[in-house]
């Protein structure tokens, strides 16, 4: 196949490219490098000739149309990775997620693309009353603009797929962690603990409990979902358990060999880290596991491995 990955220089996108290239898929990365990193792709130069990078903006119909030429499967993973942007700049959150998705889909229809794969988020469920939360949970009531934008994008993907005869796979990710991640609680704690300060400031009241999935498990889940799906499908992609934010802090501190005092901010709206933060999240992944996938690592081990990988990397955490 000839495969396109929008946002292919980002954390999840570049890790997906590793798996695609390993399967000898002709892979094209499409990225504007606003948040993605060229360092995430540098190793491909020595590994394969069936790999290329196109610089462009997913909000530009001309750029996207050019990138989609001759593509069989298109992974739409380009988005602004900062969840809290929905508070400070909701318009940018909307444009970078919903508008870019519609532009991508409009460019894809009528091309050689037969399947579209969209990177969504567990935030579409909001404060779900059922945990683990299955894909058919209702009503879908996001509590953040980011979550609402992901849900709107999902709807566009499915509508375009139905209208124009495309296969579509929507992937709702839990908190994905790994060595290339620059956003989220693990790299945030590592940044704060550089230089061993006496206090680690933690957002919220400390009761936030979530699922963490290592990037290796995430990519294997993506590959199985894409290979196995026909028509229009939605899959949760997450670990089988969850851990609290204090547990995350304990793991990171132990790996960094520091013993700071924890200072919880108290949070907002019942102890959330920020407005729109889902305090308790655990996805039901039975649907994906029925295809033969199973995560190798639980949440604690995913956080531990990620901490070690980041600390052992020469790439700075900014």
Structure pTM?
Answer: 0.95
Alpha-carbon span 2 to 25, nearest angstrom: 6
CATH number attached to the domain at 2-176+213-237: 3.40.50.720
Do the beta carbons of residue 211 and residue 282 sit within 8 Å? Answer: yes
pLDDT confidence of residue 89: 87
Question: Which residue positions in the chain have pLDDT lower than 70?
Answer: 46-48, 83-86, 314-318
Average pLDDT, the chain: 94
* CATH among 1.10.3720.10, 3.40.50.720, 3.90.25.10, 3.20.20.450 for 177-211+241-277+296-312: 3.90.25.10
pLDDT confidence of residue 45: 72
Do the beta carbons of residue 120 and residue 173 sit within 8 Å? Answer: yes
Do the beta carbons of residue 30 and residue 58 sit within 8 Å? Answer: yes
pLDDT confidence of residue 48: 65
pLDDT confidence of residue 70: 97
Range list of H helices, 165-298: 185-193, 215-228, 245-256, 286-289
Query: What is residue 43's three-state secondary structure?
Result: helix
244: buried, middle or exposed (CB in 10 Å: 19+, 13-18, 0-12)?
Answer: middle
Residue extents of the structural domains in the chain: 2-176+213-237, 177-211+241-277+296-312
pLDDT confidence of residue 44: 87
CA distances in angstroms from 109 to 95, 116, 149, 210, listed in the order given: 20, 10, 21, 37
Question: Can you state the angle between helices 245-256 and 185-193, rounded to 10 degrees?
Answer: 40
């Amino acid at each position: 196949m000839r495969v396109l990955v929008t946002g292919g220089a980002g954390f999840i996108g570049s890790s997906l490219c590793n798996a695609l290239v390993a399967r000898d898929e002709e892979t094209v990365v499409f990225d504007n490098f606003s948040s993605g990193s060229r360092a995430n792709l540098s190793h491909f130069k020595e590994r394969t000739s069936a790999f290329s990078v196109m610089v462009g903006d997913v909000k530009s119909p001309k750029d996207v149309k050019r990138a989609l030429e001759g593509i069989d499967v298109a992974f739409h993973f380009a988005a602004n990775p900062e969840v809290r942007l929905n508070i400070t700049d909701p318009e940018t959150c909307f444009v970078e997620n919903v508008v870019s998705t519609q532009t991508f889909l409009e460019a894809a229809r009528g091309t050689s693309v037969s399947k579209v794969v969209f990177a969504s988020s567990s935030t579409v469920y909001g404060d779900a009353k059922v945990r683990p939360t299955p894909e058919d949970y209702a009503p879908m009531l996001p509590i953040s603009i980011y979550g609402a934008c992901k849900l709107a994008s999902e709807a566009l993907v499915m509508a375009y797929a139905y209208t124009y005869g495309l296969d579509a796979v929507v992937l709702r990710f839990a908190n994905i962690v790994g060595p290339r991640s620059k956003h989220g609680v693990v790299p945030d704690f590592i940044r704060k603990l550089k230089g061993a300060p006496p206090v680690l400031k933690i957002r919220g009241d400390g009761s936030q409990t979530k699922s963490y999935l290592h990037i290796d498990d995430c990519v294997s889940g993506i590959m199985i979902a894409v290979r196995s799906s026909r028509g229009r499908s939605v899959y949760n992609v997450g670990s089988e358990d969850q851990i609290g934010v204090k547990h995350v802090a304990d793991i990171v501190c132990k790996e960094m060999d520091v013993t700071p005092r924890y200072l919880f901010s108290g949070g907002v709206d019942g102890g959330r880290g920020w407005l729109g933060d889902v305090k308790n999240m655990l996805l039901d992944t039975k649907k994906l596991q029925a295809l033969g996938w199973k995560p190798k690592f639980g949440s604690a081990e995913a956080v531990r491995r990620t901490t070690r990988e980041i600390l052992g990397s020469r790439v700075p955490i900014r």
